[in-house]
Amino acid sequence: MKTITPCLWFNGDAEEAATFYTSIFRNSSILGTTPYPAEGLADFQRDLAGSVLTIDFRLADQEFLAINAGERFPFNEALSFMVNFDPSRDADARSNLDALWNALIDGGSALMPIDAYDFSPRYGWLRDRFGVNWQLILSNPDGEPRPTIMPALLFGKGVQNRAREAMDFYASVFDGSQLGADVRYTERTGPAHPGSVMFGDVKLRDLWFVAMDAATRQHVTFTEAVSFSVPCADQDEIDRLWAALSAVPEAEACGWCKDKFGVSWQIIPDRMAELMARPGAFAALLEMKKLVIADF
């Protein structure tokens, strides 16, 4: 069973972003690039013929996919990436956290300044120069180990107080899931109700996700700027996941769908690269909503 991969939608600067990130995260590298085809593009994509379509890259052993597209979907704080610095695994965790913060904040802005907070002696939340949101945290060495990078879902506008529901739902959809931390609010905090999730996480396949109910009023929600690519073994698995996750018909396109919480997914065959190498594959893809392997 292949992993779920976070996908980042960039406005033509995916190469610059991937190069920047791999230069500042440890254990990172560019894995490969895929170009737009020379023909078969939609009218709005024709200027992109032959340019870079996607870039696969790894940050701290977490794989990402950067998509060179357009400016339709700007990043926002509803979906960020939590970066754990664990003193039990890294003797220089605090200084490495500060170094990454200083690199990411260059040209960006702080949403929560780097400082000591009740939940961590060193934490900060920022938006980098490309708009991507990051939460850097010195984690508790006595807690259960977690990966260095975890996508973080903030449930606010339109989905406030639904983080627990979402974690349970996702765990029911993906085989072999594991529910993890579950820290609740004990009193009302802004729009967060008592009993809603202050911090929780869930493992889907082998990717850990953070889920939190917003403690302050949010004016943004999930968009296609960050989506999650789910490779499937066969058409039956595509059909099952599509039926479970696709809840917004107008968002269905080219294997992309949006679930009932607004989170975007790409439900694709695990041999997508092979299928896209077939003649006319890109044109066929543009005609599909749910992907049908036999139609490539």
Picking from 57, 79, 83, the residue whose alpha carbon sits closest to that of residue 68 is 57
What are the C-alpha distances in Å from 119 to residues 122, 132, 179?
Answer: 9, 23, 20
Identify the pLDDT of residue 46. Answer: 63
What are the C-alpha distances in Å from 205 to residues 5, 31, 122, 171?
Answer: 11, 21, 30, 9
What is this structure's pTM? 0.94
Identify the pLDDT of residue 268. Answer: 97
Q: How far apart are the first and last CA of the chain?
A: 23
123 domain residue, yes or no: yes
Would the pLDDT of 67 be above 70? yes
Identify the pLDDT of residue 71. Answer: 76
What is the C-alpha to C-alpha distance for residues 212 and 282, in angstroms, rounded to an integer?
Answer: 37
Could you identify the residue written with the tokens 């018909």?
A: 249
Identify the pLDDT of residue 143. Answer: 84
Do 126 and 111 lie in one domain? The reply is yes
Do 199 and 228 lie in one domain? The reply is no
> Could you list the residue range(s) of the whole structural domain that residue 47 is in?
5-73+223-295
Do 241 and 208 lie in one domain? The reply is no
Would the pLDDT of 47 be above 90? no
131 domain residue, yes or no: yes
Identify the pLDDT of residue 13. Answer: 92
pLDDT in tens, 181-208: 999 999 999 999 999 999 999 999 999 9
Angle at 114 between CA 63 and CA 30, to 5 degrees: 20
Number of domains within the chain: 2
Would the pLDDT of 43 be above 70? no
